[in-house]
Amino acid sequence: MKTAAKIYTALIFLFLYAPIIVMVLFSFNASNSTGIFTGFSFKWYVELFKNSHAFEALKNTLLLAVCSSVIATLIGTSAAVGIHSMKNRYLKRSIMSATNIPIMNPDIVTGISMMLLFVFVGLLFHYDDKLSFWTVLIAHITFNLPYVILSVLPKFKQMDKHLPEAALDLGCTPLQAFFKIELPEIAPGILTGLIMAFTLSLDDFIISYFTTGSGFQTLPIFIFSMTKKRVTPDIYALSTLIFICILVLLILYNFSSSKQKNENKNKRRD
């Protein structure tokens, strides 16, 4: 039974990683084939560093992810504060259901509905360049917001209600009580929301595809236009580099968190 479980797990991981293994392997291919491996070379990495479009797209993607996740975290956190302190149940519930719409709706519907809004408003004001960086930014903030709110709200519920009350009794102003007591309590939720928003924004293709104009290309959109033609392995090279970056970050994160845990354990023993 145990070996069966192990074989099954191995098969699942093989399935999940097969395209990534192929991607890494063929990024080192000497020819431009993505089917037959003809020899090892760094040719495509050299090509990649000559490809200014890819780097422009990467820069755009990072800029968009930073801006949208920070703004979504600001609006979302303050929204969570407001929703938490809200008394009217009916209002609370309707705000939450509106917030959840972008999660429940398929991305393509979110994308085209925002596109329709932008196009309509653009027509109204006779504005030619209807879709641009700003429209993608608005779209990304919109689909990031619910994830931020949903990761901050539970932290309020976990918090001891009497903590801010105690702070007020001890002479804090409400604002002091919020920044000194409540904010540190919900900080992990805010951080989770920020990271989630950042990765969602980095990875998004469908919503950007419908809300961006010709002037602003993110990496996924750049890859999409590449895959319409035959892909050359330099895109594999780029994806391999990104994959390795994320892998290293994850390992570092895991390493530091497990080290911290061990230190805490040792402290407790002392």
Partner 1 sequence: MKKERPVNTIPLIKRMAVAPHIVWAILFIIAPLLFTAYFAFTDKSGNFTLSNIRGLANDNYIKIFSRSVILALIATVVCLIIAYPISYVISKYKGNKQKVMIMLIMLPMWTNLLIRTYSWMAILEDTGFLNTILGYVGIGPLHMINTEQAVIFGMIYNFLPYMILPIYSVMSKLDKSLTEVAADLGCNNFKIMTKITLPLTKSGIVSGITMVFVPSISTFYISQKLGGGNFDLIGDTIERQFQVANNYNLGASISLVLMIIILISMAVMNHFADSDEGGMVV
Closer to partner 1 by Cβ: residue 17 or 49: 17
- Establish if 124 lies at the interface with partner 1 (CB under 8 A): no
Residues in 42-71 that interact with partner 1 by CB under 8 A: none
Among 120, 116, 100, 118, CA closest to 108? 116
- Establish if 150 lies at the interface with partner 1 (CB under 8 A): no
Residue 227 CA, chain-centre distance (Å), reads 23
- Establish if 262 lies at the interface with partner 1 (CB under 8 A): no
Among 243, 256, 223, CA closest to 57? 223
DSSP 226-254: HHHSPPPHHHHHHHHHHHHHHHHHHHHHH
Q: Which one of 38-46, 72-80, 126-134, 183-191 is the stretch in contact with partner 1 (CB under 8 A)?
A: 72-80
Q: Which one of 7-15, 45-53, 151-159, 188-196 is the stretch in contact with partner 1 (CB under 8 A)?
A: 7-15
- Establish if 172 lies at the interface with partner 1 (CB under 8 A): no
Closer to partner 1 by Cβ: residue 20 or 163: 20
Strand, helix or coil at 205?
coil
- Establish if 22 lies at the interface with partner 1 (CB under 8 A): yes
CB of 147 vs partner 1, minimal distance in Å: 13
- Establish if 178 lies at the interface with partner 1 (CB under 8 A): yes
- Establish if 10 lies at the interface with partner 1 (CB under 8 A): no
- Establish if 20 lies at the interface with partner 1 (CB under 8 A): yes
The DSSP secondary-structure symbol of 181 reads I
Single-letter amino acid code for the residue at 204: D
CB of 209 vs partner 1, minimal distance in Å: 8
CB of 129 vs partner 1, minimal distance in Å: 17
- Establish if 156 lies at the interface with partner 1 (CB under 8 A): no
Hey, what's the torsion of the CAs at 126, 128, 131, 137, to 10 degrees? -70
- Establish if 187 lies at the interface with partner 1 (CB under 8 A): no
Closer to partner 1 by Cβ: residue 46 or 250: 250
Contact (Cβ atoms closer than 8 angstroms) between residue 143 and residue 198:
no
Kindly list the distances between the CA atom of residue 185 and the CA atoms of 72, 91, 158, 166, 176, in Å, as whole numbers in the listed order.
20, 25, 9, 14, 14
- Establish if 101 lies at the interface with partner 1 (CB under 8 A): yes
Residues in 192-251 that interact with partner 1 by CB under 8 A: 199, 203, 205-206, 209-210, 219-220, 223-224, 227, 231, 235-236, 239, 242-243, 246-247, 250
| The Cα angle at residue 193 between residues 192 and 194, in degrees rounded to 5 | 90
With CB under 8 A as the contact rule, the residue among 14, 46, 119, 166 that binds partner 1 is 119
Tell me the residue ranges of DSSP E strands in the chain: none
Among 163, 143, 158, 144, CA closest to 189? 158
